[in-house]
Structures are given as structure tokens and as C-alpha cells.
Amino acid sequence: MTAWTGNVPASWSLEGGWTELLLVNTGPRPLPVALSFVPATGEPDALRPGVAEKRFFGAAGTLYLPLEAGPGQRLIVAGAEDATVIGADGSVKRGSVIPLSGPGRVFVRHGPGLLAVWIEGGGVSPWPPVQPQTVSLPAGLSLAGETMALSFSAPAPAVLHARTSAPVILALDQGGRAESPALFPAGAEFSRYIAAGAAQLRLISPHDGALAGSLDLSATPVIPAGEGLGDAVAVAPGGTALFAFEVTQDGAVGVGIRADPDRAMVRLLTGDGAPLGEGVAMLRRLTSGHYLIEARVPLDGETTLVRPAVIGIAPRAKGPPAEVARHYLELVGMVPATAH
């Protein structure tokens, strides 16, 4: 096993039956290192289908685990931005929801706090089967059991808001397309786009034991956007603003967000919620239809003013601007001169 830290400070957690450790300093100056060893009480941990790995870390670092999986299964990470899976066949995949084809190794770079990693699919899940509960928006209910599933329907595209009073993992599924789960160690402030139609929200306990606390579920409408710079909208930390625009003819369209403070995460979506790109400014060739700009403020951010910007959906005017045309008409006496 080789753990490469790169050119930045790093922390690694490794489990195994090794008897020798080689440390190599790749720089020209001496560097400090701290090592600690904890005797294992059994076989080294491995990530297996049907078992969730839940841990609490006091500091940021990298967790290494071998994994056992088969075709049709996927690795899911909550509480970290992403993971890297190196398959036994040499393949390398990154993400927070990673399709698996066989055994390999997983590296998860995490921050301090809770982390949950599991493998599901192929009829196997670490969570007990649960009957989906149908709710109407808005809704408020108490949380119970190790996992819950809430089914609901939206009459039109909207922003879904879920708030809980206790730690939880949330995962949204729309039309069979599951989003990356989000872990909230101190209660959820969750906002996501939902297309018109049926959707399901999964709630999972991030620790051993049952879910606790309560859930408030609601939806707010999508904000229309037109050509040019739109009006400013205030978005709270962890919140999402969703702007809709229509493309009437195929062509290049520029979209983006002006945010103050400038920490918003921006996605361009199709009308049914499929992602087309990410970035505060994008230029895409779009076909006629409905599109959405999603601006999300991080949980550790602050209340942000966001303004949508769309260029290329309205036909460009032919000829000079109206004020320039009037000036030349004044010069030839075709319209009365304007007093200056």
C-alpha cells in the first residue's frame, strides 16, 4: 500500500497487517510526521455490500478501505465531497456516487465530522426495506426508524426545502435519477430543484440507531429570467435559488450568476432537471426549450444576493441603437432637435 500526500499536509487512516513502514521525504527540507498505532480487534475493515461504514473524525484526512462489490452495484459517499475507487482491473473512478464492476480500493478525502460510506444495488442495501410514505407539500412530521422514504408530487418545477432538527442523511430521487446523498451533522438545511411529477426523498440515520427529531418539507416556485441581468434575490446559507428561461431558437446562449459575496455554486439544468454544466459563467449551444439556472449557497456561507444573467435568448436588434438613429435623423431635419 502506497499513500502519497502530495505537496500539502495530509492525514491518512490505514488498516492492515503490515510489519514495515517506509517514510520518504520528497522535498529538500526536513518535515515533521506523527504516527500512531492502534491494535486491531479483528480482521481489517473492508467495505462490503449491505454494510454501512459510519465514522466520526476529529480532523480532516484520507480514509483507505478495500472494497468488495459486483456488477450493478454502486459506492455512495455522504459527508465528503467525493471518493476515488481504484478497481482490481486498474480502472479509476471518482465521485460521490460511483458505479462498481468488481473489487478494488476506495480512498475518501474527508473533513472533520461524520462520514458514511456504503455499497448498494443488485438487490442489496445496508438499510432495512421501508414502505414509502406519501406526503403532500408542505408537510411536517416526526422522524423514526433507521431510514424513511417520503413520496410526493410537484405540479410544476420548484425548489424543494427540507429542514430537520437532528442529524440526517438526505437523498433525492427523481424519475429514477438519484442525486448524491448529503449529510447534515447538525440538522438539515436542504434545498434542491424538483421537476414536475413524482419524486422521493430518502432519510437515513448518519449514526448507529434510529432517526430523531422532526422534518419540515416545503417547496417554493421557480423565478423567471429573461434576456440580460435579472433582479437580485437573497439566498440564505444552504439555500437555493432557481431561475427559469426559454430558448426559442437553437444557438449559443451565455448564462451565469452575479453573486455577492461571490461563493455561489451554479449549475445549468434542462427543464426536467438534468445537469448541463457548472460554473458562474457558461456558454452553451442550446436547442429550443426550457432551461434552469440553479444557484446554491454553501452551508458555511452567508446570506447572498444572486442575480441571473442570460444572453442570447432574445433576437438582436438590427441597425444602430434608437438614440443613435434619432441623432442622425435630427442632423438631416427629419425629426425635431432635442434640447440639450
Global pTM? 0.66
Q: Peptide bond preceding 138: is omega within 30 degrees of 0, i.e. cis? A: yes
**Mean pLDDT computed over 61-70:** 85
Identify residue 156 by its one-letter amino acid code.
A
Which helix (DSSP H) or strand (DSSP E) does residue 265 occupy?
strand 265-270
Q: What is the pLDDT of residues 148-163, one digit of tens each?
A: 999 998 888 888 888 8
Q: According to the model, what pLDDT value does residue 194 have?
A: 84
The β-bridge partners of 108 are 63, 83
> Does residue 70 have a pLDDT over 90?
no
Per-residue pLDDT of 267-293, as tens digits, reads 898 876 678 888 888 999 999 888 889
- Does residue 180 register a pLDDT over 80? no
Domains parsed from the chain with CATH numbers: 12-120 (2.60.120), 133-220 (2.60.120.1050), 223-311 (2.60.120.380)
Q: Does residue 171 contact residue 201 with C-beta atoms inside 8 Å?
A: yes
Report the pLDDT value the prediction gives residue 317, as an integer from 0 to 100.
60
Q: How confident is the model at residue 44 (pLDDT cuts 50, 70, 90)?
A: low
